[in-house]
Chain A
Amino acid sequence: MKKEKINEIGNRTIFKVPEHYFEDFAASMEKQIDAFEENKTQLSKASITANKHPMMHLRPILYVAAMFILMVFSIGLVLNYTSGRSSELKTEEISAEKIPTAEDYLISSVGTYGITQYYVENQTND
């Protein structure tokens, strides 16, 4: 292709449109605006009907109540867990079964071998 300057090509419109396009477009736009408005009216009617339901007015109160119940439940759960843990620890500390007796102490310090030896020696002396 030979080198061409853009001014030589010219700026005439090189695109076409279907016949009567702009007249038809205006008519089609009228219909679309009608449909758009009708849709808008229906949507607003639906929204009004939904808002008219008696429960819809109570919705904010119900939300707050649900939040409050959830909060109380959570706090209760946390408190219950922490107090449970501390009482468990206390029970462990003061449990009588866990306190070593004098007998336990003697057994653990002397050992089974020492006690047997003691009895054997006593028997021999007798």
Chain B
Amino acid sequence: MGKTEETKLVEMLRDESQRRKAFSILVKDYSEGLYWQIRKMVLSHDDANDILQNTFLKSWSNLNQFRGDSKISTWLYRIAINETYTFLNKERQKNMIGITDLEDTMAQNLQGDPFFDGDEAAKKLQRAILTLPEKQRLVFNMKYYDDLKYEEISEIVGTSVGALKASYHYAVQKIEAFMAMDL
């Protein structure tokens, strides 16, 4: 979405008579991008679908709080990331009674997932990514899979470009070390 289009959309969202129509455009334009970002964090389609719905419901109910300081896409990505973190924390708390980590469970679930289309190497890469802390995992996904610019990632996650570069570098090192292990 271009800058002019985004400005127009924001104006429509502020106008109560056009808000509903503008939000439909917002859902159509951003649901796919947001979905993939969430999916790469939670891996399961059903969980990603639930988080995406919550993201849009939250953004609809908090539309008045969008001041226009950042791009609407950045605002949506932030909500999606927060919803993802909230989901993962809840799952981790539920998983505390079990003997396996949430990340182990998530990796195991990939085995029988009908919506996972990766080979053994891709599965191992997913397991390696799951060993990273959540924020580092997010940065890695944004850079490795989506090839986003560090400036764009910085705007979304609120971390300096330098720190992001270092985080990505360490993430790659950790993942390569994991991939080198015979598991």
Give the complex CA separation of A9 and B39 in angstroms: 19
Any chain B CB within 8 A of the CB of A55? no
* Inter-chain contact B53/A6, CB cutoff 8 Å: no
Any chain B CB within 8 A of the CB of A5? yes
In the complex, chain A residues whose CB is within 8 Å of the CB of B24:
26, 30
* Inter-chain contact B40/A26, CB cutoff 8 Å: no
Binds A, one of B25-33, B80-88, B90-98, B131-139: B25-33
In the complex, chain B residues whose CB is within 8 Å of the CB of A30:
24, 27
Asked whether A32 and B116 contact (CB < 8 A) given A5-B176, A6-B125, A22-B31, the answer is no
What is the distance, in angstroms, from A36's C-beta to the closest C-beta of chain B? 6
Chain A residues bordering chain B, tally (CB within 8 A): 23
What is the distance, in angstroms, from B125's C-beta to the closest C-beta of chain A? 5
Any chain B CB within 8 A of the CB of A52? no
The size class of the interface chain B forms with chain A is: 35 or more
Give the complex CA separation of A9 and B172 in angstroms: 13
Partner pick for B115 among A17, A22, A25, CB 8 A cutoff: A17
Interface residues of B in 97-147 (CB under 8 A from A): 114-118, 120-122, 124-126, 144-145, 147
Query: What are 13 A-B contacts with C-beta separation under 8 Å?
Result: A1-B120, A6-B179, A11-B144, A11-B145, A13-B36, A15-B36, A15-B43, A16-B45, A16-B116, A17-B45, A22-B35, A25-B27, A29-B27
